[in-house]
Amino acid sequence: MVKVTYVAADGTRTDVDAEPGSNVMQTALDNDVDGIVGECGGAMMCATCHCYVDEDWTGATGARNDGEDDMLDCAADEVKPSSRLSCQIKLTEALDGLVVHLPEEQA
């Protein structure tokens, strides 16, 4: 299992265990984490799974995938250098302990 911590805009932390091979968005949806909507189901056709990767993890999650910048232009909240679409962050054992911060708004 891979542990992921979701930090809401108000600072509330939610720790969940995820299956390796899943992604940050689906893990949030499967565990009823508020702050991730995922309207397109992970097809990278919206920005309702926008998150901010914690600075300690930005190197481990890698750069944005092709097309992420275009979708992030549609994000409801501020886009930062650490912004990612959570549907595009595939969970591996190397990401055990990953921390992502959620924006105030998604849609």
How do the domains of the chain map onto residue ranges?
2-101
Q: Which amino acid is at 35?
A: G
Asked if residue 8 has pLDDT above 80, the reply is: yes
Tell whether the model's pLDDT for residue 107 goes beyond 80.
no
Tens digit of each residue's pLDDT (9 = 90 or more) over 33-81 = 999 999 999 999 999 999 999 999 999 999 998 899 999 999 999 999 9
- What backbone torsions phi and psi does residue 59 show, to the nearest 5 degrees? -65, -40
> In this structure, how many other beta carbons lie within 10 angstroms of the beta carbon of residue 21?
9
The C-alpha atoms of residue 19 and residue 102 are separated, in whole angstroms, by 21
What class is the 2-101 domain? alpha beta
Helix, coil or strand: residue 4: strand
Distance from chain centroid for Cα 84: 6
Q: What is the reported pTM? A: 0.95
* 98-101 and 2-7 strand pairing: parallel
